[in-house]
Amino acid sequence: WEEERYPEGIKWKFLEHKGPVFAPPYEPLPENVKFYYDGKVMKLSPKAEEVATFFAKMLDHEYTTKEIFRKNFFKDWRKEMTNEEKNIITNLSKCDFTQMSQYFKAQSEARKQMSKEEKLKIKEENEKLLKEYGFCIMDNHKERIANFKIEPPGLFRGRGNHPKMGMLKRRIMPEDIIINCSKDAKVPSPPPGHKWKEVRHDNKVTWLVSWTENIQGSIKYIMLNPSSRIKGEKDWQKYETARRLKKCVDKIRNQYREDWKSKEMKVRQRAVALYFIDKLALRAGNEKEEGETADTVGCCSLRVEHINLHPELDGQEYVVEFDFLGKDSIRYYNKVPVEKRVFKNLQLFMENKQPEDDLFDRLNTGILNKHLQDLMEGLTAKVFRTYNASITLQQQLKELTAPDENIPAKILSYNRANRAVAILCNHQRAPPKTFEKSMMNLQSKIDAKKEQLADARRDLKSAKADAKVMKDAKTKKVVESKKKAVQRLEEQLMKLEVQATDREENKQIALGTSKLNYLDPRITVAWCKKWGVPIEKIYNKTQREKFAWAIDMADEDYEF
DNA sequence: GTACTAGACTCAGAAAAATATTA
DNA sequence: ATAATATTTTTCTGAGTCTAGTA
């Protein structure tokens, strides 16, 4: 890229693609797979049957036990039924989907048991599909498309306590699809007998295909892969904005400290919120439509019930205890000592309020971002997250990397630095189901290795003793080889121990999100170059593709 | 001015698939 | 060598942020 700069807002000049791949059509169940209502066999109409299979496929999932999920599902399912079916099927609890469920389980089992040839055939078909639909031409380059397959119909699964869980996500048809391409490009053809909703030529946007989804009424897009020029440049830009913040962050911090004393309530609230965003890397917190989504908050939308003030706690003064659900209903729990002025302000903000009232009642993300824009061009709340994440990585790497450590130990240091960022950003994961077991396995490996090492050491000792007596070349050689063996085992043991530490520390922490979205990849590239750590040890193939620009750009002196 | 909303884009963890390791 | 299992990578699509256009 970097060939030519486009005027403001223009994203491309030429764009040609083959359109989306639609979900495979519904295949009715074989005759012998029965559905029972109230203990009696019932043959469902194709439409009702299709929706029933969505539920059957999820039968083992916790979702299907939830009241809201069942209620939403049943309501939408009934809409797909014939009048007769509607008359009979009035109670979800009387529906028996077990045969369907077993049928699908058997099918997935069969898929696992397929022969090599069959698996290869499927693989080849997928590759063919990718080759045909997975790429587009944007301005002189063939670029990989991220999600060229249209989402298949199914039951909506929100995150957390979502009021719409279980609703039917309808099948997307060509008639729902808007195609975007350049005027001089070949327009993709819709499937036979169908037509597109619209074909447009808008080079002010980056998407190739869009449609409106029926659960929230929001628009979904097909866009390019992170390795593409258009995504890469944007990513680069993001980190450049964060680096600009680095230059003026001290000034901004002084400013909001001043603003804590302002006569204006709005200014004080803005300043305290910004302090949280900066110090704790909280998200901005847009307001959300009540009842449309799970009840989650970010900084500006915090409510009184989400914090607890402790004038003194565990020997620390002015502690704020946060407890709220953030993006994706991930819990944020943190006890933070704050400056006295912040504490007093919070007390003031909470005066005469109910738990469900907004903490920052005079503030929203619009007001905050407008203020930030005045402080620095291009500055918004999320830039603080990027900035603090990247600067933390850089500092931690400096602090944790010991020059004479070996590569595995260096990688552990890297992961620890990465982990510090993930903790800051509250990137969590459910502990893997097999975590305990896998830790135990690793421990027994370590024990076995220790034993081997002890044996090897004993061998070495006796070989040395032999050599002392015999003093011939042969025994000397034996000593040498035993020495090598010990060394090798020591190294292997150390590697395993490092791995165990890394894994233990990582139990509930997800490193991927910060690595992919918050850490300036040039910091990592520079670190790898400086310490001779192969980049493949840190970034896998996909990641290297996404960060190709950084790998190309940064040398070992790069400073964020 | 400002508030509201649609639109476009980034970022998020779970689940599925692929691959590596072990039995 | 093969199958079972563990681990890593990729896919999936939901959930945020933020802006521009409109009332």
What is residue A404's three-state secondary structure? coil
Contact call for residues A80 and A26 (beta carbons, < 8 A): no
Which pLDDT band, with edges at 50, 70 and 90, does A109 fall under?
confident
Which pLDDT band, with edges at 50, 70 and 90, does A66 fall under?
very high
More confident residue, A210 or A484: A210
Residue A205: predicted pLDDT = 94
Nucleic strand C under 7 Å from the C-beta of A512: yes
**Type of residue at A244:** R
Residue A3: predicted pLDDT = 53
Which residue in A418, A413, A415 sits closest to A399, CA to CA? A413
Which pLDDT band, with edges at 50, 70 and 90, does A209 fall under?
very high
Residue A487: predicted pLDDT = 80
Q: If you compute the radius of gyration of chain A from its CA atoms, what whole number of angstroms results? A: 30
Nucleic strand B under 7 Å from the C-beta of A202: yes
Tokens 């593409």 correspond to: A228
Cβ neighbors of A423 (< 8 A, separation 6 or more) are: A509
Which pLDDT band, with edges at 50, 70 and 90, does A511 fall under?
very high
Q: Sort A192 into a burial class: Cβ within 10 Å, 0-12 / 13-18 / 19+.
A: exposed
Which pLDDT band, with edges at 50, 70 and 90, does A47 fall under?
very high
Judged by average pLDDT, the poorest of A199-203, A416-420, A490-494, A540-544 is: A490-494
Nucleic strand C under 7 Å from the C-beta of A59: no
Strand A178-180 to strand A198-200: parallel, antiparallel, or no bridges (unpaired)?
A: parallel
pLDDT tens for residues A337-385?
999 999 999 999 999 999 999 999 999 999 999 999 999 999 999 999 9
Q: Report which residue is nearest nucleotide C7 when distances run from CA to C1'.
A: A438
State which H helix or E strand residue A135 sits in.
Answer: strand A135-138
pLDDT tens for residues A147-172?
999 999 999 999 999 999 999 999 99
| Residue A296, pLDDT above cutoff 60 | yes
Q: Report which residue is nearest nucleotide C13 when distances run from CA to C1'.
A: A151
pLDDT tens for residues A119-144?
888 888 888 999 999 999 999 999 99
State which H helix or E strand residue A378 sits in.
Answer: none
Q: Report which residue is nearest nucleotide C19 when distances run from CA to C1'.
A: A366
Cβ neighbors of A292 (< 8 A, separation 6 or more) are: A163, A164, A216
Nucleic strand C under 7 Å from the C-beta of A16: no
A 62-121 residues, CB < 7 A, strand C:
none
Judged by average pLDDT, the poorest of A195-199, A263-267, A413-417, A477-481 is: A477-481
Q: How far apart are CA A50 and CA A28, in angstroms?
A: 7
Question: Average pLDDT for residues A96-117, to the nearest whole number?
Answer: 85
pLDDT tens for residues A365-377?
999 999 999 999 9
Looking at every residue in chain A, the average pLDDT score rounds to 91
Residue A454: predicted pLDDT = 81
A 301-360 residues, CB < 7 A, strand B:
327-328, 330
Provide long-range contacts, Cβ within 8 A and 24+ apart, for A1-6: A1/A229, A1/A232, A1/A233, A1/A549, A3/A140
Can you give the distance from the CA of residue A441 to the C1' of nucleotide B21 in angstroms? 12
| Residue A13, pLDDT above cutoff 60 | yes
Can you give the distance from the CA of residue A310 to the C1' of nucleotide B16 in angstroms? 45
Nucleic strand C under 7 Å from the C-beta of A152: yes
pTM of the predicted protein model: 0.88
Which pLDDT band, with edges at 50, 70 and 90, does A110 fall under?
confident
Q: How far apart are CA A14 and CA A29, in angstroms?
A: 45
Residue A118: predicted pLDDT = 77
Domains of chain A: 15-22+119-225 (2.170.11.10), 35-113 (1.10.10.41), 231-378 (3.90.15.10), 389-553 (1.10.132.10)
pLDDT tens for residues A218-227?
999 999 999 9
Which pLDDT band, with edges at 50, 70 and 90, does A310 fall under?
very high
Can you give the distance from the CA of residue A263 to the C1' of nucleotide B3 in angstroms? 25
CA A251 to chain centre: 32
Which pLDDT band, with edges at 50, 70 and 90, does A181 fall under?
very high
Q: Sort A20 into a burial class: Cβ within 10 Å, 0-12 / 13-18 / 19+.
A: buried
Q: What phi, psi does A387 have (nearest 5°)?
A: -60, -50
Which of A332, A518, A539, A558 is flagged as catalytic?
A518
| Residue A4, pLDDT above cutoff 70 | no
Can you give the distance from the CA of residue A319 to the C1' of nucleotide C6 in angstroms? 43
Can you give the distance from the CA of residue A541 to the C1' of nucleotide C21 in angstroms? 41
Asked about A518 being catalytic, the answer comes back as yes
| Residue A498, pLDDT above cutoff 80 | no
**Looking at chain A, how many residues does it have?**
560
Q: How far apart are CA A440 and CA A466, in angstroms?
A: 39
Can you give the distance from the CA of residue A501 to the C1' of nucleotide B20 in angstroms? 21
Residue A398: predicted pLDDT = 94
Which residue in A140, A116, A120, A118 sits closest to A128, CA to CA? A120
